[in-house]
Amino acid sequence: MLTAEALADLVSKYNPKSNSAKIVEAYNYGQTKHEGQFRKSGEPYFTHPVSVAEILAEQRLDDATIITALLHDTIEDTGSTKQDISRLFSHEISELVDGVTKLTKIQLSSMETQEAENIRKLLMAVAQDIRVILVKLADRLHNMRTIKAMPRNKQQQKARETMDIFAPLAGRMGMQFIREDLEDLAFKILNPKGRESIIRRFINLQKDAGDVIQRISRDMHSEFGKEYIEAEVLGRAKKPYSMWRKMQEKELSFSRLSDIYGFRIICSSEVDCYRILGVIHRRWKAVPGRFKDYISQPKSNGYRSIHTTVSGRDGKQVEVQIRTRQMHDVAESGVAAHWSYRDGVRSENPFTVDPVQWITRLIDEFDSEEDHEVFLEAVKLEMYADKVFCFSPKGDVLTFPTGATPIDFAYAIHTRIGNSCVGAKVDGLRVPLWTKLRNGQSVEVITAQGQNPQPTWLDMTETGKAKTAIRRALREVDKERMVVMGKALLRTAFEHIGKKATDKSLDLAASKMRFSDSKELLARVGSTEVRPGHVVRLVYPEVTAADDFDVDQASAVIGLNEGQFLDRRPCCGPLPGERIVGIASGGSGVSIHAIDCIELARFEEKPELWIDLHWHAGKHAAVYSTGIEITISNDAGVLGRVCTIIGEMGANISDLSFVDRKPDFYKIEIAVELNGIEHLHSLLTQLEAEGEVASIKRCRGSKLENIPQE
């Protein structure tokens, strides 16, 4: 832990005009107030505020922010009051400490309605003084770095909250280093095996390739020297979570993952940025479609840089980012660059963007309790960088999250258009309604009188506005069926804890959730808008895992009528956790398909056959057969290790077939029995980490899949 003098010296190095005496005074005050308090790890509690202050000092922030970091827990955890802080330090610092205290009390991981209200409170605090969130982000970063001492369930909760809220918020603030650290620390808790597998594969890659970063950096400096360009080259491997996310989004194996290494070239002027780009493209081959100029078209958070991906003689691809020093400060520190100091003078960085504008707009635009889902979706759309821009037939530009479909587009125009949507044309061609939109596409919505939203549309949409409108329409059109389904879901959830879903308990839950009556609650549960576990926890707060129970295979799917039986189709082999839909077949049979199954296109014009189905919440048995195709080296013991990994992951091999035999490699199809989609992802990750595995993928419609009628 830094001493008071060491912290004051750290600040005075970038701000010689700093009031070191006041920083030392705040340090001593906080240490005294936290005397006798300890963290879960056993360390003195005051090590935490000092570490938060050190993180902010590394960002060269002003004295008030550093002092706030030292005192940020005094009001909540000691006998200090806001008035004490104001009297001893200043009104400015007392307001900042009080703002951080209020943020700490906000429980972000809660039910959707409460989550929207709490995030609104968080954003309002940010709008009042941006330094409040800077302290909170540093506070969360240090807590995540030292989270091992907490109970496992608490680690999971904090990690999910970090991944969903704080990491993207840091990214929207432009604080990339904090965002990346938060994501990777949360990833380590939420998916430790996945992270370990990425690290193992990366270590093996380094052994084979040698020191790629040093070699390429040396080549770049040599090329710049020939053109008399002065620039700093920073090379590094991408974070494990960044690699994992790209693998998941693009469905790539690690061996096919490109640009694992990234290089940042920092120069003195915008002109040099484009000169460097020319040098890079002359020396290395540019990868088509991987060039972005964020200098001429900056991101909304102020980010400016030129991005290009190039490949060398060995075929390895690397990403190159080119920017000036001022651009780099904003890229790394974001809004913090607006408050940072250089040589005792507060920085005047022309590239910083004030996030208060978009925060205020969000709060004003969605200041309604009814619009909590729309508000949450709007916040996530603002915070996550992945957006899709599409055009209406009139040329208007509409913005959507990645994965949006023509249904989202229709509801973005007007609820009436969305409700009556029967089809869509993208770039002039008719496409299914579940088609994912891409940047720059032109979308035309086809409507018809008498059309009503289908329950399956909920699984085809990404935006909160579309989901809210669809649920509202479904509740009105099919409310009675949703009530029946809601009763079935709640009966199972309550029975799991040895209770009954009585009228009194349902009325209590409806009242707490501010619904008009219990029938409205049942309809919301039946439409999957409210999880059964949330209702159980409202009535019985001591219950912490109402959804975490074993599911009988006979009741694995909710939505079938009495007498109907389920037929899990081999064309897609849907697993628990995947979005599904039922298609009524002859007699009492209902075919179950994954929502993206190509077979569904045959039923697009027959909405009367579509049945809204959902996998039951809880733990499913590992009985769902799925095919995987794996290519392994033809070496002794490799197949045995693959089979051992499958067994260790709790999966069962039901069949195995050699598809292709070569002298050096075998291609094999294996039918494995799993408990759900997450089980599949974990298994693929572990197999991918095996050094002798060249490629692996899920094989839908595998001839090995032995899928019995349910």
pLDDT of residue 475 exceeding 50, the answer is yes
Please give the Cα distance from 278 to 281 (Å, whole number): 5
The confidence band for 405, taking pLDDT boundaries of 50, 70 and 90, is very high
pLDDT of residue 553 exceeding 80, the answer is no
Collapsed DSSP state (helix, strand, coil) of residue 653 = strand
pLDDT of residue 251 exceeding 90, the answer is no
Task: Supply the CATH classification number for the domain 568-578+606-710.
Answer: 3.30.70.260
Residue whose token pair is 């009530």: 483
The radius of gyration of the chain from alpha carbons, rounded to an integer in Å, stands at 28
The CATH fold assigned to 4-190 is Hypothetical protein af1432 (1.10.3210)
Mean pLDDT (whole number) for 219-241 = 89
Looking at residue 505, its pLDDT comes to 87
Domain 206-346 sits in which CATH superfamily?
Beta Polymerase, domain 2 (3.30.460.10)
Average the pLDDT over each of 45-59, 227-241, 424-438, 613-627 and give the range with the smallest value.
613-627
Mean pLDDT (whole number) for 663-688 = 84
Of all residues in the chain, the percent with pLDDT exceeding 70 is: 80
Of all residues in the chain, the percent with pLDDT exceeding 90 is: 20
Looking at residue 323, its pLDDT comes to 94
From 77, 117, 196, 444, active-site residue: 77
The confidence band for 440, taking pLDDT boundaries of 50, 70 and 90, is confident
From 9, 58, 76, 161, active-site residue: 76
Mean pLDDT (whole number) for 244-248 = 74
Looking at residue 22, its pLDDT comes to 94
Phi, psi (rounded to 5 degrees) for 633 = -70, 145
Please give the Cα distance from 231 to 276 (Å, whole number): 9
Between 675 and 274, residue with greater pLDDT: 274
Looking at residue 380, its pLDDT comes to 61
Question: How many C-beta atoms surround the C-beta of residue 309 within 10 A?
Answer: 20
Burial class of residue 170 in the structure, from the number of CB atoms within 10 Å of its CB (0-12 exposed, 13-18 middle, 19+ buried)? buried
Between 430 and 492, residue with greater pLDDT: 430
Question: What are 9's two structure tokens?
Answer: 């010296």
Indicate the class that CATH gives domain 386-452.
Answer: alpha beta
Give the mean pLDDT of the chain: 80
Contacts of 364 (CB under 8 A, 6+ apart): none
Please tell me what DSSP assigns to residue 42: S
The confidence band for 23, taking pLDDT boundaries of 50, 70 and 90, is very high
> pLDDT tens for residues 441-465?
889 999 888 778 887 788 888 887 7
Q: Quote the pTM value.
A: 0.57
> pLDDT tens for residues 591-624?
888 887 888 878 877 777 888 787 876 678 888 8
Domain boundaries, the chain: 4-190, 206-346, 386-452, 476-567+579-605, 568-578+606-710
Q: Are 513 and 530 in contact (CB under 8 A)?
A: yes
Please give the Cα distance from 186 to 435 (Å, whole number): 31
Please give the Cα distance from 423 to 408 (Å, whole number): 12
E strands in 163-222 = none
Most confident segment among 53-62, 111-120, 221-230, 325-334 = 221-230
Please give the Cα distance from 680 to 538 (Å, whole number): 33
Mean pLDDT (whole number) for 289-298 = 83
Q: Are 377 and 402 in contact (CB under 8 A)?
A: no
DSSP characters over 236-280: EEPPHHHHHHHHHHHT--GGG----EEEEEEES-HHHHHHHHHHH
Residue 498 region, left (φ>0) first, then alpha (ψ -120 to 50), else beta?
left
What are 310's strand-pairing partners?
A: 286, 318
Between 248 and 168, residue with greater pLDDT: 168
> pLDDT tens for residues 343-383?
555 555 565 556 666 666 666 655 544 555 566 666 665 56
Closest CA to 509 of 545, 539, 542: 539
Question: What are 154's two structure tokens?
Answer: 């608490």
Between 435 and 252, residue with greater pLDDT: 435
Annotated active-site residue 270? The verdict is no
> pLDDT tens for residues 156-171?
888 888 887 788 888 7
Annotated active-site residue 77? The verdict is yes
pLDDT of residue 709 exceeding 60, the answer is no
Nearest 5 degrees, angle CA 569-CA 570-CA 574?
A: 65
Please give the Cα distance from 595 to 428 (Å, whole number): 24
Please give the Cα distance from 531 to 490 (Å, whole number): 9
pLDDT of residue 575 exceeding 60, the answer is yes
